[in-house]
């Protein structure tokens, strides 16, 4: 599974813009017209910024026109609070570049996903740790020392639990509370196991239908919500079909590099290879998702990082160590 058509034919979305960029570049062997890429390095994170600037690039990338920021931080796997705090500050800095709102603008944080399924519980878990202030701004403004934006939070659940389309719930809350911005957090699927719970994607395009771990859904974006939507996503699973095809591809590359076996690999039928993967996965086909056994700990760590980064970005007048003063 090495090109866009392979993924599309299997119904496997490419959630990460950086991975979509790498796949397209691998196919064409050149830079993608209408796509601009920049890189930044920090002590504990690497940042890739991709800008999809026109409709032609949008079609090639399979991503709406907009800005996509990927923070790669493998040290999230380490149980080191200091490193996690520094990664949260990197996240806050990158998120701030996407915020096109004033100092008193209201923000709604939405945690998408199923809180009963750990790999899909990222959004609700972030909401648990989010620093909400809308009620303080409304009922006790005299107690707020410094400019805190009014922030509210919502974990709407999933269609299978509520019987209501998630976007409908969010739209209703948006219409009632009238935020100036929505920040939606969701779990994604990666094409590389190294990215699980260590890569954070920010996008100013919201969440398109079919993104994330779940099935096709109504988009959560400016078009559907009526206000700007920033999406924050983290890969928590990899499709088993992607892993199987990756293993087969590496195996074939090893054979091709062996002079004794190189001629044999030319006669391998791709259809047969596809059938092998299908037989191994059985009835689950492309619906089998793989996640590490320590996903509980990883979700806990990255949820705190994201919640911390959001709070730092939205309330720049408050030092990170002072947030606890506002929680009582």
Question: Residues in the chain, how many?
Answer: 328
* Least confident stretch, 92-96, 115-119, 174-178: 115-119
Q: State the pLDDT at residue 1.
A: 46
Q: Give the percent of the chain with pLDDT over 90.
A: 56
Query: In this predicted model, which residue has the larger pLDDT, 272 or 298?
Result: 298
- Does residue 249 carry a pLDDT above 80? no
Number of Cβ within 10 Å of residue 273's Cβ equals 16
Mean pLDDT of 248-255: 76
Name which of 269-273, 299-303, 304-308 the model is least confident about.
Answer: 269-273
CATH number at residue 217: 3.40.50.1450
Report the pLDDT value the prediction gives residue 247, as an integer from 0 to 100.
81
The answer as to whether 254 is a domain residue is no
pLDDT at 246: 79
Q: Is residue 265 part of a domain?
A: no
Which pLDDT score, from 0 to 100, does residue 39 have?
96
Question: Tokens representing 205?
Answer: 């395009």
Average pLDDT over residues 254-278: 69
**Residue at 33 is within a domain:** yes
| Residue 63 and residue 205 in contact, taking contact as beta carbons nearer than 8 Å | yes
Higher pLDDT, 231 or 318: 231
What is the structure's pLDDT at 253? 74
Any domain includes 81: yes
User: How many structural domains are present in the chain?
Assistant: 1
Three-class SS of the chain: CCCHHHHHHHCCCCCCHHHHHHHHHHHHCCCCCCEEEEEEEECCEEEEEEEECCHHHHHHHCCCCEEEEEEECHHHHCCCHHHHHHHHHHHHHHHHHHCCCCCCCCEEEEEECCCCCHHHCHHHHHHHHCCCCHHHHHHCHHHCCCCCCCEEEEEEECHHHHCCCHHHHHHHHHHHHCCCEEEEEEEEEECCHHHCCCEEEEECCCECCCCCCCCCCCCECHHHHCCCEEEEEEEEEEEHHHHHHHHHHHHHHHHHCCCCCHHHHCCCCHHHHHHHHHHHHHHHHHHCEECCCCHHHHHHHHHHHHHHHHHHHHCCCCCHHHHHHHCC
Q: Within a domain: residue 276?
A: no
What integer pLDDT is reported at residue 313 of this predicted model? 94
Instruction: Look up the pTM and report it.
Output: 0.88
Lowest mean pLDDT among 28-32, 89-93, 103-107, 158-162: 28-32
Question: What pLDDT is stored for residue 211 in this prediction?
Answer: 53
Domain span at residue 288 reads 4-243+284-326
- 248 lies in some domain: no
Q: Quick check: is 88 in a domain?
A: yes
- Rounded mean pLDDT of 309-323? 80
Domain-located, residue 124? yes
Tell me the angle at which helices 122-129 and 295-314 cross, rounded to the nearest 10 degrees: 50
Lowest mean pLDDT among 4-13, 79-88, 199-208, 309-318: 4-13
Answer yes or no: is pLDDT of 284 > 50: yes
Return the axis-axis angle of helices 81-98 and 295-314, rounded to nearest 10°: 50
pLDDT over 80 (residue 325): no
Q: Which residue has the higher pLDDT, 315 or 136?
A: 315
């Amino acid at each position: 599974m090495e090109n866009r058509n392979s993924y599309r034919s299997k119904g496997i979305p490419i959630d990460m813009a950086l991975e979509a960029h790498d796949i397209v570049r691998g196919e064409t062997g050149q830079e993608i017209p209408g796509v601009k890429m920049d890189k930044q390095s920090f002590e504990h994170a690497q940042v890739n910024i991709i800008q999809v600037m026109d409709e032609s690039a949008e079609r090639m990338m399979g991503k709406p026109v907009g800005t996509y920021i990927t923070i790669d931080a493998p040290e999230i796997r380490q149980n080191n609070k200091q490193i996690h705090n520094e990664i949260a500050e990197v996240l806050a800095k990158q998120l701030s570049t996407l915020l096109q709102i004033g100092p008193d603008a209201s923000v709604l944080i939405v945690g998408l996903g199923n809180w009963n399924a750990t790999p899909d519980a990222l959004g609700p878990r972030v909401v648990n740790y989010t620093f909400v202030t809308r009620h303080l701004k409304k009922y006790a403004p005299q107690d707020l020392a410094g400019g805190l934006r009014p922030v509210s939070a919502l974990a709407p659940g999933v269609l299978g639990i509520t019987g209501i389309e998630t976007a409908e719930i969010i739209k209703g809350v948006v219409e009632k509370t009238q935020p100036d911005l929505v920040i939606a957090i969701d779990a994604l699927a990666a094409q590389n196991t190294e990215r699980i719970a260590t890569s954070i994607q920010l996008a100013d395009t919201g969440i398109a239908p079919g993104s994330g771990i779940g099935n096709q859904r109504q988009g959560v974006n400016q078009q559907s919500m009526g206000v700007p939507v920033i999406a924050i996503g983290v890969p928590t699973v990899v499709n088993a079909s992607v892993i199987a095809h990756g293993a087969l591809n590496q195996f074939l590359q090893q054979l091709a590099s062996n002079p004794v076996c190189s001629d044999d690999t030319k006669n391998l039928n791709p259809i047969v290879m596809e059938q092998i993967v299908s037989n191994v996965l059985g009835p689950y086909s492309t619906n089998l998702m793989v996640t590490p056994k320590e996903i509980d700990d990883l979700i806990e760590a990255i949820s705190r990082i994201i919640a911390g980064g959001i709070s730092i970005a939205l309330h720049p007048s408050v030092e990170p160590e002072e947030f606890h003063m506002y929680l009582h």
